[in-house]
């Protein structure tokens, strides 16, 4: 049994996610689309906070809301005149997208509602988990250690930096 506050919080989050993701893909101004994406990412961070993964929520806000959305806004302002509308969709294109999305959502929703055995599972007690433990998981080579992916991500980020410099260099 959850407290009333967390249930209300859940409905606020779910409504925000649904409304803002629909607005993100339907608005015709690209800068507004990026702003709605920011709201969706904040709502996702709230989901993580509600799941008691505070570190993950902080990473979500710092990396997505602080990094990626700023990158989007910069590149939108570099490539568009502000306030200009995108061309209206042709009907054929809209129906193609709408039917693909609806078929996918309907198939997954049918699978969820009819086959999911553990969908009625209530939120279990959170296990105590602190940042020190997380750091040890990230840097250990034991069974549940993540040293190899950690190092792989650092190499990936290095490759990304070099790639960004090479691509954006003025010839």
Partner 1 sequence: MDLTLLMYLIPSLIMFGCGVYGFLTRKNMIAIMISLELMLNSIDINFVVFNRFLYPGQFEGMFFTLFAIAIAAAETALALAIIINVFRVAKKVDINEINKLKF
Half-sphere exposure of 20 (CA within 13 A, CB side): 19
**Which residue from 5, 42, 65, 71 is in contact with partner 1, where contact means CB under 8 A?**
71
Query: In a 10 Å sphere around its CB, with 0-12 CB exposed, 13-18 middle and 19+ buried, how is residue 40 labelled?
Result: buried
Joined together, the tokens standing for residue 123 give 């939120």
**Which residue from 12, 102, 139, 147 is in contact with partner 1, where contact means CB under 8 A?**
102
Q: Per CB under 8 A, does 12 bind partner 1?
A: no
Q: Between residue 103 and residue 132, which ones bind partner 1 under the rule CB under 8 A?
A: 104-105, 108-109, 112-113, 116, 118-127, 129
Query: In a 10 Å sphere around its CB, with 0-12 CB exposed, 13-18 middle and 19+ buried, how is residue 45 labelled?
Result: buried
Q: Per CB under 8 A, does 70 bind partner 1?
A: no
Give the C-alpha separation, 38 to 72, whole Å: 10
Q: Which one, 119 or 132, has the nearer CB to partner 1?
A: 119
Q: Per CB under 8 A, does 56 bind partner 1?
A: yes
Give the C-alpha separation, 13 to 7, whole Å: 10
**Which residue from 39, 40, 42, 65 is in contact with partner 1, where contact means CB under 8 A?**
40
Q: Between residue 132 and residue 171, which ones bind partner 1 under the rule CB under 8 A?
A: 134, 137-138, 144, 146, 149, 153, 156-157, 160, 163-164, 167-168
Q: Which backbone phi and psi does 13 adopt, to 5 degrees?
A: -65, -45
DSSP assigned state of 85: P
**Which residue from 39, 65, 79, 136 is in contact with partner 1, where contact means CB under 8 A?**
79
């Amino acid at each position: 049994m959850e407290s009333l506050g967390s249930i209300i919080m859940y409905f606020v989050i779910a409504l925000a996610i649904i409304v803002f993701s629909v607005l993100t893909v339907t608005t015709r101004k690209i800068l507004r689309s990026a702003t709605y994406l920011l709201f969706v990412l904040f709502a996702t961070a709230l989901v993580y906070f509600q799941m008691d993964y505070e570190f993950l929520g902080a990473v979500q806000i710092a990396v997505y809301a602080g990094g990626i959305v700023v990158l989007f806004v910069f590149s939108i302002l570099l490539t568009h005149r502000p306030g200009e509308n995108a061309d209206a969709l042709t009907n054929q294109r809209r129906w193609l997208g709408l039917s693909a999305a609806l078929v996918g959502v309907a198939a997954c929703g049918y699978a969820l509602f009819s086959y999911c055995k553990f969908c009625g599972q209530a939120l279990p007690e959170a296990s105590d988990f602190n940042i020190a433990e997380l750091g040890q998981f990230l840097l250990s080579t034991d069974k549940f250690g993540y040293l190899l992916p950690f190092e792989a991500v650092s190499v990936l980020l290095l490759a990304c930096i070099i790639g960004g410099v090479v691509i954006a260099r003025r010839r």
